[in-house]
Amino acid sequence: MAGTKMNLRRYGNEYLYWKEQEIIVDQAYLDLNRGLFIPLTHPYQMGTKMLDVYFNGQHILADGGYEEINEYMIRLDLGVYPENHPLKGLAVPLMLGDEIFIRTWKPEYRQGSGSGIDDLRFKSLEEEIISARRYKTNDLPYFSIDDRLDHIQERAEVKTMVFVLNRVFLGVAKLEIRFPFDAKIQEVYASCAKSGNGKTVFQIEKCSQVNYDSTPSWKNIFQDNLVIDKNEKSSNTAHPTYTLAEDTIIKDDHFRIHIAELGEGIEGVTIEIKVII
């Protein structure tokens, strides 16, 4: 019994996700005077590494064998002539008979079965998300965009009041600051340009706007005062450290510095009050 020949056919549409071009260098091509610049017949999304380039059958890579110029152009890098060649140091050009094969992957949505996700667009989206997770190019990205937004919000909410006392005397300094927001005191820090021969004790006193405009009533915000110890440069080394008795700021509260103890010789004091609005 004779056999039956059966042809297997694939029904439905068939899709190619790349564009191929082949160049065989002849005299007509050299007469175009393009040098090592190769025009692409299909636009390429730069930086995606979705371009396959072969020169005389050898697969060459970006930033080594070729350079991406724009979405329609690459430039081959075939090296330079060696020292013992009459053209030493000059770039090696294309020659008659050279063959260039390029496959450009197309950024088009898949159809039919599969994920339905365009790989190139998905990669672009991924890169955009990673970029959004950091501020500067060389920064390490935050774990998520939400983390970075939280950091931005925190930075927007953090304010610092700064008192600068070039010369330091016992008693109340002749400097007052009004803070125009409701806030919470998060941290207080003191430093000096020149340390003293004894400890210096700081009180930070607060007065409401209502009292300030009538009969000022100043209250120390510390339970344990802020201290710069003998021969030290900042309050970070103080023992014990300060504790707050009052951390709430009402809009338009006024602040001033009261030097309760003075270490002889201390100069150039800066006091920072970090608050969260």
213 and 268 share one domain: yes
29 and 88 share one domain: yes
92 and 174 share one domain: no
For residue 75, report the phi and psi dihedrals to the nearest 5 degrees: -125, 125
Given 93, 110, 127, the domain boundary residue is: 110
Q: What is the pLDDT of residue 177?
A: 95
Q: At what angle do helices 119-132 and 145-157 cross, to 10 degrees?
A: 30
Query: Could you tell me the maximum CA-CA distance found in the chain, to the nearest angstrom?
Result: 120
C-alpha to C-alpha distances, 41 to 8, 21, 71, 74, 118, nearest whole angstrom: 34, 7, 10, 11, 21
165 and 91 share one domain: no
CA–CA separation, 205 and 111 (whole Å): 71
User: Could you tell me if residue 138 is inside a domain?
Assistant: no
pTM of the entire predicted model? 0.49
Q: What is the pLDDT of residue 55?
A: 92
Total domains, the chain: 2
Given 80, 110, 140, the domain boundary residue is: 110
Cβ atoms of 252 and 207 within 8 Å: the answer is no
User: Could you tell me if residue 234 is inside a domain?
Assistant: yes
Q: Show the domain range for 240.
A: 157-276
User: Could you tell me if residue 4 is inside a domain?
Assistant: no
69 and 163 share one domain: no
Q: What is the pLDDT of residue 262?
A: 97
Which residue from 263, 260, 258, 241 is spatially nearest to 195, judged by alpha carbons? 263
User: Could you tell me if residue 8 is inside a domain?
Assistant: no
Given 76, 110, 144, the domain boundary residue is: 110
Q: What is the pLDDT of residue 62?
A: 82
User: Could you tell me if residue 120 is inside a domain?
Assistant: no
The CATH number that applies at residue 164 is 2.60.120
User: Could you tell me if residue 30 is inside a domain?
Assistant: yes
User: Could you tell me if residue 117 is inside a domain?
Assistant: no
pLDDT mean by block of 10 residues, the chain; 277 residues: 41 60 93 93 81 90 87 91 90 93 73 53 73 74 77 79 94 94 95 96 98 96 97 94 95 97 96 94
Cβ atoms of 258 and 173 within 8 Å: the answer is yes
User: Could you tell me if residue 88 is inside a domain?
Assistant: yes
